């Protein structure tokens, strides 16, 4: 029997996935490169205060949080490409506004405008249009990897680039990256049709139940807190390296490179253990506890270079672990046909955390200096630990979307029959899509019986 899941990605699918991953990388580089430099170089701007620097760091997240889901829904109506082009042009315009500003308010306005180019949901929807079902998880993993790599590159390249061309030059480079993103989108394969896909897009019908799901809400709070702590810490860490450790800002790149590389390799064994042994709850709670300890360590001992480097390494082991684990937990916990909606709310929570974290970090620094920022981050992580303590071990399942034959779509008891197949834990039939969404344990699934039902 021919198994389409054994086929490799086609040339056009590979082009689409790698091209859209590149668009994400360009955009995220533009967002993240200012993180390690804004607190140090931004203080030279007219009117700059620590609180306003914090607002400039997090401002993009506020508009991104508000506009991401609406832009995704608009792309369902008018098409993906117009929304993506428009979003990248707005991002470029925000970069130009920030590059030409000589006041902190001009940079804040530019960052707000950059965030208004909220194309994440539209890009993921286009990816669904351009890839077949059996390769979609692989294509989405390519995008996830591009985001992680762009964050690491931004932490190192940001300080090096800013020391060479200044803060204004850095914003001009991010504007150029948005233009490159437009050129990449222009040469992508064209989608034959828009696919309404509940695994990658937000469904209005699923919003209410998703917002009432306690385990999903815990994960939404988790990503909110993680990115709030990240942004608040990056108000304090560059200043601590300059003021406490006397490290020139041009040399900060090697600190971030060391912390990120060790942090990446340090998290890998824990990810493998959590997935293999099905102990992700223990891994997540442990990582949050480590974040609490790393922030306390930075608060108490963050007055010397090597203690700052050590604290950041521990911070990034826990951060990378959570950044990699939480999206996979969303996929496991979301009900059948609800992953796209759950991911939309999750991403909105992430950007909201980025925005409010920057504001909070700047305000705390202005009120009580570096120590208060790290203490505030430790307190937020302790609250996060309390919120997630009652989380249950997630189900170790995978979501599938199965196109239905005309006969299967007319079967009134198809859902019950699918639920009776060994390894299927949840199922929903969406008649208007002529598709079924199922959650399955691949180790126990009778795939032949499931394929027989939908065919």
For residue 269, give every residue at least 6 positions away whose Cβ sits within 8 Å of its Cβ, in sequence order, or none: none
Task: Give the DSSP letter of residue 443.
Answer: T
Is the entire prediction scored with pTM above 0.85?
Answer: yes
Same domain (yes/no): 385, 262: yes
Is the model's pLDDT at 256 over the cut of 50?
A: yes
Find the domain containing 16 and state its range. 12-201
Q: Which CATH number do you get for residue 409?
A: 3.30.70.100
Residues 150 and 124 in one domain: yes
Output the pLDDT for position 196: 67
**1 domain-assigned:** no
Q: Indicate if 233 and 220 belong to the same structural domain.
A: yes
Q: Are residues 225 and 108 in the same domain?
A: no
Q: Which residues contact 14 (CB under 8 A, 6 or more apart)?
A: none
- The three-class DSSP label of residue 107 is helix
Same domain, 176 and 220: no
User: Across residues 259-285, what is the average pLDDT?
Assistant: 90
Could you report the per-residue pLDDT of 84-106, keeping only the tens digit for each? 999 999 999 999 999 999 999 99
Characterize 237-273 residue by residue with b for buried, 16 or more Cβ atoms within 10 angstroms of its Cβ, and e for exposed. Answer: bbbbbbebbebebeebbebbbbbbebbbebbeebbee
Name the domain boundary from 396, 411, 428: 396
> Residues for the chain: how many in total?
455
Average pLDDT over residues 430-435: 82
Residue 38: pLDDT over 90: yes
Do residues 329 and 418 share a domain? no
Q: How many domains does the chain have?
A: 3
Residue-level pLDDT at 319: 94
Region 404-429: mean pLDDT is: 87
pLDDT, tens digit, 9 for 90 and up, residues 302-321: 889 999 999 999 999 999 99
Residue that finishes a domain, picked among 180, 201, 222: 201
User: Can you give the pLDDT at residue 2?
Assistant: 41
Pair of tokens at residue 198: 């509940």
Beta carbons of 212 and 220 less than 8 angstroms apart = no
- Does 386 lie in the same domain as 402? no
Distance between CA atoms of residues 323 and 149, nearest Å: 12
Record the tokens describing residue 4, joined without a space.
Answer: 């389409």
Q: Are residues 381 and 412 in the same domain?
A: no
Give yes or no: residues 237 and 365 share one domain.
yes
Handedness of CA 137, 327, 148, 200 (dihedral sign): positive
Encode pLDDT of 209-231 as tens digits.
Answer: 888 899 999 999 999 999 999 99
Domain edge (last residue) among 201, 228, 259? 201
Tokens describing residue 279:
């102990």
Measure the CA–CA gap between 310 and 298, rounded to whole angstroms.
9
Residue 397 pLDDT: 87
Nearest Cα residue to 335 out of 256, 242, 438: 438
Residue 382 CA: distances (Å) to CA of 226, 298, 329, 366: 12, 15, 21, 22
Are residue 362 and residue 421 in the same domain, yes or no? no
Give the lowest-confidence range in 130-134, 183-187, 265-269, 345-349: 130-134
Contacts of 183 (CB under 8 A, 6+ apart): none
């Amino acid at each position: 029997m021919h198994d389409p899941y054994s086929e490799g990605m086609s040339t056009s699918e590979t082009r689409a996935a790698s091209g859209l991953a590149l668009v994400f990388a360009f955009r995220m580089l533009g967002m993240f490169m200012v993180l390690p430099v804004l607190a140090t170089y931004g203080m030279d701007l007219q009117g700059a205060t620590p609180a306003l620097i914090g607002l400039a760091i997090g401002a993009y997240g506020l508009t991104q949080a508000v506009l991401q889901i609406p832009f995704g829904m608009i792309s369902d109506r008018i098409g993906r490409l117009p929304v993506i082009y428009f979003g990248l042009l707005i991002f470029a315009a925000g970069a130009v506004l920030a590059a030409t500003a000589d006041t902190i308010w001009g940079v804040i306005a530019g960052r707000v405008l950059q965030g208004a180019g909220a194309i994440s949901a539209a890009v993921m929807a286009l990816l669904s249009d351009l890839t077949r079902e059996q390769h979609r998880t692989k294509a989405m993993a390519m995008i996830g990897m591009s985001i992680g790599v762009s964050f690491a590159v931004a932490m190192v390249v940001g300080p090096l680039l800013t020391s060479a061309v200044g803060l204004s030059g850095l914003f001009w480079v991010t504007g150029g990256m948005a233009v490159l993103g437009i050129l990449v989108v222009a040469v992508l394969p064209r989608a034959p049709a828009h696919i309404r896909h509940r695994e990658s897009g937000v469904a209005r019908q699923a919003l209410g139940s998703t917002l009432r799901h306690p385990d999903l809400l815990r994960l939404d709070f988790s990503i909110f807190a993680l990115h709030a702590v990240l942004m608040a810490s990056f108000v304090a860490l560059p200043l601590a390296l300059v003021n406490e450790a006397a490290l020139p800002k041009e040399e900060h790149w090697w600190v971030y490179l060391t912390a990120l590389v060790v942090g990446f390799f340090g998290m890998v064994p824990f990810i493998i253990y959590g997935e293999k042994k099905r102990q992700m709850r223990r891994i997540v709670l442990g990582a949050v506890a480590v974040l609490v300890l790393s922030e306390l360590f930075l608060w108490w001992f963050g007055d010397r270079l090597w203690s700052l480097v050590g604290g950041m390494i521990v911070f990034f082991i826990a951060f990378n672990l959570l950044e990699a684990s939480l999206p996979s937990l969303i996929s496991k916990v979301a009900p059948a046909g609800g992953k796209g909606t759950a991911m939309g709310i999750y991403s909105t929570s992430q950007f909201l955390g980025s925005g409010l974290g920057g504001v909070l970090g700047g305000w705390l620094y202005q009120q009580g200096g570096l120590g208060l920022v790290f203490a505030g981050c430790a307190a937020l992580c302790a609250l996060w630990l309390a919120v997630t303590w009652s989380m249950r071990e997630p189900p170790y399942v995978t979501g599938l979307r199965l196109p239905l034959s005309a006969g299967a779509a007319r079967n009134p008891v198809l859902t019950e029959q699918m639920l009776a197949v060994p390894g299927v834990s949840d199922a929903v039939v969406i008649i208007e899509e002529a598709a079924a969404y199922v959650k399955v344990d691949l180790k126990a699934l009778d795939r032949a019986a499931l394929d027989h039902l939908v065919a």
